[in-house]
Structures are given as C-alpha cells and as structure tokens.
Amino acid sequence: MSEIGIKESENKIYGYDEELWYLVLRSQNKTGERDIGAIDRYLRTHSPGKEILDLGCGTGRISNMLAGMGYSVTGMDLSSRCIGEAKRLAQELGVSKNVTYIVGDYRELGPVSGKKFDAALCILAPAWKSIDEATSVFGNLALHMRDGAILLLRETVKERFLASLSAAPSVQSWFRVAGDILCLHAWHYYCMESRVTTTKEFYRRRGKDFEYIARVEQEYVLRSIADYSAALERAGWDVVEIANESVDLLEPEKYNDPWWLFSALIVAKLGGRRA
C-alpha cells in the first residue's frame, strides 16, 4: 500500500504512485487557459490540419479544450486513472465526439498506427531519460505524422530555469494549492552537473485542515533548448520557433508553481528528411 492508502500501482509515473499523480493532475484541470490559447495560436499558424495527437495528455486538460475548439484530438497517457478522468471531463464538456482517449505508452504509438496526424503535442510530459532516448521518441513519432506536420514540445529547460532563478531567487521552496491538494515543494540545483533534486510533500484538504498524504523525492538532469533542438533535428524535425511567452503561459498569479515556469515551448516542423 502507498502512503495514501491506495493499492500500489505497477505504473509509477515520474516516481509518483498513479493515484497520487491522478489527484495532482485532476487538481490542475481547470488551469492553463493562456497555455491552451497559445497552443491554438501555434496550431493555427503552423499545422497543416486539425488532426492532433496529445502525447501524455494526463486528465485531458488540453485535449478537451482543443476538442471544444473543433480539433479532432487523440489523447494518449500511461495512466488509466487519468484517461478515465479525461473521458469523464469530455462528457461533461460535451466534446466527446471530437476526442479519443487511449491508455498507452507514447514511445511506441502502436495503438494509433495506420493513422497520420497533422500535429503532436508533448506538453510537460517527457518520456525519456537521455537526449538519445528523446531523439528516438521524436524519430518514431515522425513515422505517424503527415509531411509538414508540427510538434509542440513544452519541456523544462536549463535556460528558463536559470532565468526564473535570477528573477525570483525565493522560488527555491514554495507551496501550491490547487483544488483540494496542497503541495510543499523544495529543490536544490547542482550546477556542475545541471542536476536538480526536488522534495514534495502532498496534503489533501479535510474540512479546515490538511491531511498529509505522500512525500515524493525526484531528480532531474536539466537539458538546454540547444540539446532538444539537436535531438529534434537528428530525428527529422526542423525547429521553426521557440516561444518567448512561455514564462507567463500558465498565469503564475493564479497558478503558484514556479516549476512550470522553467519550461520553453519549442515548435518543430517535419521536413522532407526522416530519421
């Protein structure tokens, strides 16, 4: 049993018990209007069509909004708990006819073979431990896309991390309340190795109190925009734009989690070259 008293899942996602992961993502489901507005803008500017693949769609925060805007969306996530919530939300929003949800590992994409997409989103959902692994994921993804298709990759990068750190040194520890979940978060940066360790404690609101549910310790190696650009180019994608406004995409005044600010949105287009 995990600390939240739920049967331990085989599917640990980023070191989180699947049930905890689901609670955290569900608490963020109503966030990111600007994020989604920006995604829509990039799709309208660069995508050759409206067939969208959302890699690591979580609880459908983005997929369902895009479905409501008339895109035809396929959302894929490892977590069946998250996919269940994404489907429920699609029903609630009346967008089910425009969105299909699949439980699966997007490094393989077997369940969508035979279909070609105009755009793929990978929004804070990395499934790689090294840049070589990222190259192979982007290369495999290219096989499921139409020529001229685009990838919107939003990922934590060293440049944004350092820029945020210089703007607000106090971000080294903070708390965040989203929905009924309180997260206490502290991190440490090891500059020689570009490594970050984080400790998060999660609490759930119980009446006027908060009840402790879990503690998660994690470690990341921060890659740079140049690392990701090189991986994309090696896999046949041309980087066409690095979004400048990524720092305020999530309305930090409403969404008190600087970790999300440490990311860049990279727009890449599939050219004639294939991996």
Strands 181-190 and 195-206, by their bridges, are: antiparallel
Q: Does 235 help bind ligand SAM (rule: CB under 6 A)?
A: no
Looking at residues 204 to 223 of the shown chain, list those that interact with ligand SAM (rule: CB under 6 A).
none
Residue 133 contacts ligand SAM per CB under 6 A: no
* Residue reference for tokens 């070259």: 273
- What is the Cα–Cα distance from 234 to 224, expressed in whole angstroms? 16
Site mask, ligand SAM, residues 28-67, x = CB under 6 A?
Answer: ----------------------------xxx--xx-----
Q: Which residues contact 40 (CB under 8 A, 6 or more apart)?
A: 66, 69
Residue 90 interacts with ligand SAM (CB under 6 A): yes or no? no
The verdict on 23 binding ligand SAM (CB under 6 A) reads no
Asked if 43 and 70 count as a contact pair (C-beta separation under 8 A), the reply is: no
Residue with Cβ nearer ligand SAM (177 or 271): 177
Q: Beta strands of the chain (E only): which ranges?
A: 51-55, 72-77, 99-103, 117-123, 145-156, 173-178, 181-190, 195-206, 209-221, 237-243, 263-270
d(CA 247, CA 237): 24
Q: Which is nearer to ligand SAM, 32 or 236 (CB)?
A: 32
For residues 261 and 25, what is the distance between their CA atoms, to the nearest angstrom?
17
Window 91 to 120, contacts with ligand SAM (CB under 6 A):
105-107
Q: Does 76 bind ligand SAM (CB under 6 A)?
A: yes
* Cβ closest to ligand SAM, residue 80 vs residue 271: 80
When the beta carbons of 147 and 218 are compared against ligand SAM, the nearer one is: 218
Q: Which residues bind ligand SAM (CB under 6 A)?
A: 13, 25, 56-58, 61-62, 76-79, 82, 105-107, 123-125, 127
